[in-house]
Amino acid sequence: MKRRVHHVNSHRFAYLYMLPALILAYLFSYRPFIKTFANSFSLVGLSGKIVEFIGFENFIRLFQDRNFQTSLYNTLRFAILFIPLDLVLCMVCALLVYKKRRFNAFNETLFILPMAVAMSSAALVFKAIFNPTIGVVNYLFGLAVQWFNDPAWAMFTLVFLGVWMAMGLDFLLLVGALRSVPSQIIEAAEIEGAGPVAKFFRIQLPLMSPTILFIVSTRLRDSMLLSGPVLVMTNGGPFRSTQTLVYQMYIEGFTAGNYSRGSAIGVVVFVLTFLMILLAFRFERRGVFYQ
């Protein structure tokens, strides 16, 4: 009987240790999410209090707004440009250094250095090097591109920054996945006469698919939540060509004080992100191999 009481008490103490984490999760994650969801279906006053319930009216007006349509298009465009470029570049870098060679440790250190740089600092540096007048990029390549003044090119500055910021972690993940491929399978393929291309596409790439799925899912989330680089580098311009959903949510909610529309955008971002990641996991059954 005493042992049973002691066992129950130990479980109670375990829950007490979890209590601070649960309180923080409620205050900074679950409570804001529930409040945002409630605000999106309501008319909210300037004080942040709900005035009345209006149903889907916020969403109807939102999808009829051309600014929202532009933000949605820009967000999806960023994801389409950013994710494949990030994957290809990190994969190439991982293939260059995954084998144990001399100076590879130094090369690996160079590839993961972006992880040590804060986003705001990196955005300011990229804003300087892509400056149309005094920037290094135009000078080195002999270009005359108006990076931040031309709607056709402004998005690419955000994409390049995103790839550079994501490179460190994604490179580490892909290198680890390459090095975890059993050497016996590679040796057997070489004995059968398989070349480097065949080994990569028939053996290494399929066995790396769980890691690739994780990277794609993570970067889909990051693409949908893009706002920091926009705030630092472009402020949504020129002509809203880099205005994203989360940046518009910030403008509507914190600048204009339209909490109802800002909350509605937040709910749309959550639903779109959830559906995209769910779609990515739907391909897991067909294209992901765990052994």
Q: What is the pLDDT of residues 36-52, one digit of tens each?
A: 999 999 988 888 788 89
Residue 4 — pLDDT band, cuts 50, 70, 90? low
Domain definitions of the chain by residue range: 2-57, 59-287
Question: How confident is the model over 100-111, as a mean pLDDT?
Answer: 82
Please report the pLDDT score of residue 8 as a whole number.
53
Rounded to 10°, the helix 57-64/66-97 angle is 80
Q: Does domain 59-287 have CATH number 1.10.3720.10?
A: yes
pLDDT tops 70 at residue 151: yes
Question: How confident is the model over 164-173, as a mean pLDDT?
Answer: 94
Please report the pLDDT score of residue 75 as a whole number.
96
- At a CB cut-off of 8 Å and minimum separation 6, what does 259 contact? 39, 44, 48, 253
Q: One-letter amino acid identity for 173?
A: L
Lowest mean per-residue pLDDT among 54-68, 94-108, 177-191, 198-212: 94-108
pLDDT tops 90 at residue 103: no
Question: How confident is the model over 273-278, as a mean pLDDT?
Answer: 90
Whether residue 249 contacts residue 265, with contact meaning beta carbons closer than 8 Å, is answered with yes
Whether residue 68 contacts residue 75, with contact meaning beta carbons closer than 8 Å, is answered with no
Question: How confident is the model over 56-62, as a mean pLDDT?
Answer: 93
130 Rama sector, left if φ>0, alpha if ψ -120 to 50, beta otherwise: alpha
